[in-house]
Amino acid sequence: MKKASIDKTELFAKTPVPAALLTMAVPTIISQVINLIYNMVDAFFIGRTGNSYMMAATTITLTVMLMNISFANLFGIGGGSHVARLMGAGKTEYAGRVSAFSAWATILVALLYSLFIGLFMRPVLTFLGASEYTMDYARSYTTFVVVIGTLPTLFSMVLAHLLRNTGYSAQASIGLSGGGILNMFLDPLFMFVLLPKGMEVTGAAIATLLSNSIACIYLIIAYIKASREAPLSLRLRDALQIDGENVRAVLRVGIPSAVLTGLFDVANMCVNIIAASHNDMALAAVGIAMKVERLPNAINVGICQGMLPIVAFNYSSGNHVRMREVISTARRYGLMISGCCLVLFEIFAVALAKVFMSTTAGDTATALVTVAYAALFLRVRCLGSPVQFMNYHASYCMQAMGNGRGTLIHAFVRELVFYIPFMFLFDRLFGEVGLVAALPVGEACSAVVAFFLLHRTIEAAKERHDI
């Protein structure tokens, strides 16, 4: 075994758990936060115009963009977690084939999704709540970021997952973070310097496309370099040599993970549609609240993604004591982060809303209404942050242990049994406040189910002597 592979084995198998978890999670958290900031940058600069309709348009297109995360999880988490388990079992040759299959399958899915959105863009955006005031903005943003930009965006995320799950967390994070940092500089350049007034949304979209493309090029280079020491491959020949058993192993975890994210995106679509039925200001405010609340989510997803390969490796190698210690340590860190953010959001809700919507430029009256909505929505939705983390944590643990069935059950229960039905019910009973209150209530109910499923997964594995 090569020296770098030995180092990664030491990290996964023997390094003290807090140190190992921080080594894997900190770069991922930094990457998640920077990417969060970069996703917020578009909203921040668009908010400087004081145009609530532009903000509403980016809220609508966000749901179309988030489907990329669902597809990335299909082959990124599905393939990446299986690669980590194969490494733990010492089957590095199979791991290389799985990584190549995941990369090439991603390219195919990205092209198909771009084609679909390109052909059906107007009906999709209309369904998501675009009005006569927001349609042109939404079409412009979607054309550059989704129709043209899905391939580099999606491929970047999958390569980052594969790098992270073979121990190259820093390289994955540098690639994704670098794109985010670049976007922070390109956004104002394209929005306020290169393009004329009124085309700020188009400028933001072009800047995002360029940033993601450059990040993709870096990650391809980093992946090729890592493949000299890790079981990673981009060769089509390796992808075609994968056997059915390994394909099923990828999909067994990847499909539930993609469904989980896809259903979350469907839930966001429902939020937008219901908010748009009230007015465009409520829709814009929901978008602001969602962007702010993504801070604890980004940190906690970073913790979970850093945790996943360590759990997967120790699951396959049979070290169940260390695996459970990793799970409990990650849970403790995540709950601390969620609690701190909850307190901060309750205190500074109005100030945070004003970061994304100027009340001194553009239409001041609609901007003030949007800020008031956003502050209220944020204070209500952030109550769900701790239990939302518990759902992420349980889902990633089950994915690491290859329990696709449990992940899938959790995904359906979380979104289709609790959150989405509560959304429509509470909106009918309590209006806009009820709509946003559905999140903490739904997440709390599904967290109970998640904890039960995770406990069953660990106990079942012990009975089979898998761990």
Say if CB 395 and CB 450 are below 8 A apart.
yes
pLDDT number for residue 246: 86
Angle between helices 150-165 and 280-317 (to 10 degrees): 30
Q: Is the pLDDT of residue 6 over 60?
A: no
| Whole-number pLDDT of residue 5 | 45
* Most confident stretch, 9-18, 68-77, 113-122, 181-190: 113-122
Q: What is the per-residue pLDDT for 465? A: 54
Over residues 382-401, the pLDDT tens digits come to: 899 999 999 989 988 888 88
Half-sphere exposure of 416 (CA within 13 A, CB side): 11
Reported as half-sphere exposure (CB side, CA atoms, 13 A), residue 260 has a value of 31
Q: How far apart are CA 441 and CA 35, in angstroms?
A: 28
Among 144-148, 251-255, 420-424, the range scoring the smallest mean pLDDT is 251-255
Distance of CA 436 to the CA centre of its chain: 20
Top-ranked range on mean pLDDT: pick from 129-143, 181-195, 256-270, 429-443: 429-443
Residue 4, pLDDT above cutoff 60:
no
Which pLDDT belongs to residue 7?
57
Phi (first) and psi of residue 48, to 5 degrees:
-65, -20
Please tell me the predicted confidence (pLDDT) of residue 133: 80
pLDDT of the residue at 161: 87
In this predicted structure, the answer to whether residue 3 has a pLDDT above a threshold of 50 is: no
What average pLDDT does the chain have? 84
The per-residue pLDDT for 210 is 93
- Per-residue pLDDT tens for 200-233? 888 888 998 999 899 999 999 999 998 888 888 8
Each residue's pLDDT tens digit, 282-292: 878 887 888 78
Q: Pinpoint the alpha helices (H) of 241-384.
A: 244-278, 280-317, 320-347, 349-355, 364-381
Q: Is 394 exposed, middle or buried (0-12, 13-18, 19+ CB in 10 A)?
A: buried
Question: By the 8 A CB rule, do 289 and 59 touch?
Answer: no
Please give the full DSSP string across 303-322, using - where no structure is assigned: HHHHHHHHHHHHHHHT-HHH
Among 423, 420, 421, 413, which residue's Cα sits nearest to residue 448? 413
pLDDT for residue 2 is more than 50: no
Q: pLDDT for 69-120, tens place per residue? A: 778 888 888 888 888 778 877 777 788 888 899 999 999 999 999 999 999 9
What is the spatial distance between Cα 40 and Cα 32, in angstroms, rounded to a whole number? 12
DSSP assignment letter at 361: S
Q: Residue 50: what pLDDT?
A: 67
Q: Is 132 exposed, middle or buried (0-12, 13-18, 19+ CB in 10 A)?
A: exposed
Distance (Å, whole) CA 357 – CA 363? 11
pTM: 0.68
152-174 pLDDT, tens digit per residue, is 989 998 999 899 888 787 788 78
Confidence of residue 8 (pLDDT cuts 50, 70, 90): low
Percent with pLDDT over 90 in the chain:
24
Q: Could you report the per-residue pLDDT of 328-374, keeping only the tens digit for each?
A: 999 999 999 999 989 999 999 888 888 777 666 656 777 788 888 88
pLDDT band at 301 (very low <50, low <70, confident <90, very high): confident
User: Which pLDDT score is estimated for 467?
Assistant: 47
Q: What are the residues whose beta carbons fall under 8 Å from the beta carbon of 248, sequence distance 6 or more?
A: none
Q: What angle do CA 24, 77, 121 make, to 5 degrees?
A: 125
Indicate whether 279 pLDDT > 70: yes
Phi, psi for 261 (deg, rounded to 5):
-70, -40
Judging by beta carbons within 10 Å of its beta carbon (0-12, 13-18, 19+), is residue 332 exposed, middle or buried? exposed
Q: What is the pLDDT of residues 21-40, one digit of tens each?
A: 888 888 778 767 776 776 66
